[in-house]
Amino acid sequence: MSLGDRDRLGAFVDHCDIRIAGAESGPLAGLTFAVKDLFQVAGTRAGCGNPDWLATHAVDTENAPAVDALLAAGATLIGKTQTDELAYSLNGENHFYGAPQNVNAPGRIPGGSSSGSAAAAAGGLCDFALGTDTGGSVRAPASYCGLYGLRPTHDRIPLEGLMGLAPSMDTIGWFARDPATLARVGQVLLPDWRAPGEIETILIPTDAWALADAAAALTLRPLADQLRAIAPDLREITLVPDGIETWFKPFRIVQGWEIWRQHRDWIERVKPRFGPGVADRFAWVPTISDAEKEEADAVRQHVRRLVTERLPPGAVMALPTVPGIAPLRGQSAEAQEGFRYRALQLTGIASLAQVPQINLPLGQVDGCPVGLSLMAGRGGDESLLRLAERIAGPAPNGVAAMRIGEAD
């Protein structure tokens, strides 16, 4: 079966058609996966969502270590998936290649930049899919597409073999339709897997919840409150006394400063074409001064300390993954940026603090998925994966039963 025959969602890139069988046995034997087109796969070129990047980079001669680990564990690679240009977007609408379909929210964006991986996993084209998450590019698509998705602790999974964006924020994340599969992948990709600790405290940051649309908050907040069944110490906090928006500019500056240094040589040499929005951001990043970066770094250090204090072992924070359901496709640049601004205030917390965060597809608004997130302190990845399985567990009267509820 050709790629075109099996890809009914526009999730896969069309510049390569690959299938690499995994080992005959292993913890992931029998599962299929796809990888975002930032990863090296031997015999292919990583297009990174931009035709000029594709045209100016050579065929890779080896796989990224994360891909090799999954193959060695028995999973079969079935293709490379669409991404926003150089992963510098949160929408999943690529100017050159279009937007993959979101099967769980028809007519709405899949989210980016791991758009194709999310679309493929949600649509059942593979069992799980690799993405990357710098500022929310696994968490946002997971929420929009109704998937479990993990951004791991920064630096727990080596980043070799893929295009970097902002190295101090880049992570390799992944999507699955069920938490058991998400955890199985984690046991392979997290090299120092350890037994998860018990969760005793769940914090509800009311300032983060204030960023959510009214309908999303109405759906998700009762689910967060029901987590008391797992951790009886559930309490509200104000995460950022000066206002959560005060973290947004430092997040953008740190990210943008690193992006320019990551890609400056190629951009100045090739002078690539970028689509709307992405072009504006790449025009802005060279203007960031070292003094602005130094000031933003001081805020980032404060965020790390604060989040570390708030989230010791045994504590997690529950918050909306993004402000609401996936926006409609084809919106104006102004409308996209308005939603992106609010979304990045939520997703930027974990990126600045370098902590893990998991999306739980527990809510619906107007028939579309909306995700609740759990965030842990550094190294708390296993606890998040275990919590996801407990919350979605088989008990019909458990917290996961609330997933079917909708807000009008």
pLDDT, tens digit, 9 for 90 and up, residues 354-403: 999 999 999 999 999 999 999 999 999 999 999 999 998 654 333 333 33
Between the two ends of the chain, the Cα-to-Cα distance in Å is 42
28 and 170 in a common domain: yes
Instruction: State the Cα angle at 265 between 174 and 54, rounded to 5°.
Output: 50
User: Is the domain of 184 the same as that of 210?
Assistant: no
Whole-number average pLDDT of the chain: 94
Task: Say if residue 140 is in the same domain as residue 231.
Answer: no
Q: Could you report the per-residue pLDDT of 179-208, keeping only the tens digit for each?
A: 999 999 999 999 889 888 889 999 999 999
Mean pLDDT of 154-173: 97
Which of 189, 209, 227 is the last residue before a domain boundary?
A: 189
Which is the catalytic residue, given 113, 114, 117, 373? 113
Q: Over the chain, what HEC string results?
A: CCHHHHCCCCCECCCCCCCECCCCCCCCCCCEEEEECCECCCCCCCCCCCHHHHHCCCCCCCCCHHHHHHHHCCCEEEEEECCCHHHCCCCCCECCCECCCCCCCCCECCCCCCHHHHHHHHCCCCCEEEEECCCCCCHHHHHHHCCEEEECCCCCCCCCCECCCCCCCCCEEEEECCHHHHHHHHHHHCCCCCCCCCCCEEEEEHHHHCCCCHHHHHHHHHHHHHHHHCCCEEEEECCCCCCHHHHHHHHHHHHHHHHHHHHHHHHHHHCCCCCCCHHHHHHHHHHCCHHHHHHHHHHHHHHHHHHHHHCCCCEEEEEECCCCCCCECCCCHHHHHHHHHHHHHHHHHHHHHCCCEEEEEEEEECCEEEEEEEEECCCCHHHHHHHHHHHCCCCCCCHHHHHHCEEC
Question: What mean pLDDT do residues 103-114 have?
Answer: 97
User: Catalytic: 293?
Assistant: no
Write out pLDDT tens, residues 61-104: 999 999 999 999 999 999 999 999 999 999 999 999 999 999 99
Q: Please give the pLDDT value at position 5.
A: 53
Question: Average pLDDT, stretch 232-241?
Answer: 95
Residue 253 located in a structural domain: no
Q: Is the pLDDT at 241 greater than 80, yes or no?
A: yes
Per the structure, the count of domains in the chain is 2
Q: Are residues 296 and 165 in the same domain?
A: no
Residue 216 has pLDDT above 60, yes or no: yes
Model pLDDT for residues 257-304, shown as the tens digit of each residue:
999 999 999 999 999 999 999 999 999 999 999 999 999 999 999 999
- Asked if the structure places residue 282 within a domain, the reply is no
Q: Give catalytic status of residue 113 as yes or no.
A: yes
**pLDDT bucket at 6, cuts 50 / 70 / 90:** low
> pLDDT class for 3, splitting at 50, 70, 90?
low
What would the mean pLDDT of 29-42 be, rounded to a whole number? 98
Burial of residue 268, with CB atoms counted within 10 A of its CB: 0-12 exposed, 13-18 middle, 19 or more buried: exposed
Please tell me which residue, 54 or 3, carries the higher pLDDT value: 54
Which of 36, 89, 117, 373 is an active site residue? 36
Confidence label for 335 from pLDDT (cuts 50, 70 and 90)? confident
Question: Is the domain of 65 the same as that of 182?
Answer: yes
Which pLDDT does position 406 carry in this prediction? 42
156 and 295 housed in the same domain: no
Q: Could you list the residue range(s) of the whole structural domain that residue 234 is in?
A: 201-247+288-407
Q: What is the pLDDT of residue 333?
A: 75
The CATH number of whichever domain residue 340 belongs to comes to 3.90.1300.10
Do residue 117 and residue 220 come from a single domain?
A: no
Residue 215 lies in a domain: yes
In a domain, 270, yes or no: no
Q: Is the pLDDT of residue 407 over 80?
A: no
| Domain end (from 163, 189, 215) | 189
Domain boundary among 189, 219, 237: 189
Specify whether 124 is located in the same domain as 183.
Answer: yes
Residue 259 belongs to some domain of the structure: no
Tell whether 167 and 215 lie within a shared domain: no
Residue 315: inside a domain, yes or no? yes
Reply yes or no on whether 137 is catalytic: yes
Is 195 a member of any domain?
no
Q: Which two tokens stand for residue 180?
A: 């058991």
Residues 128 and 207 in one domain: no
For residue 405, what pLDDT is reported? 35
Given the residues 89, 114, 115, 137, select the one marked as catalytic: 137
pLDDT band, residue 334 (cuts 50/70/90)? confident
At 337 the pLDDT is 80
**Each residue of 232-264: b (16+ CB within 10 Å) or e?**
eebeeeebbeeebeebbebbbbbbbbbbbebbe
The pLDDT value given to residue 399 = 38
> What integer pLDDT is reported at residue 408 of this predicted model?
39
The backbone torsions φ and ψ at residue 205, rounded to the nearest 5 degrees and listed phi first, read -80, 105
Tell me: do 208 and 124 sit in the same domain. Answer: no
Q: Looking at the structure, do residues 218 and 126 belong to the same domain, yes or no?
A: no
Q: Is residue 274 part of a domain?
A: no
pLDDT score, position 311: 98
One-letter amino acid at 203 equals L
pTM for this entry? 0.95
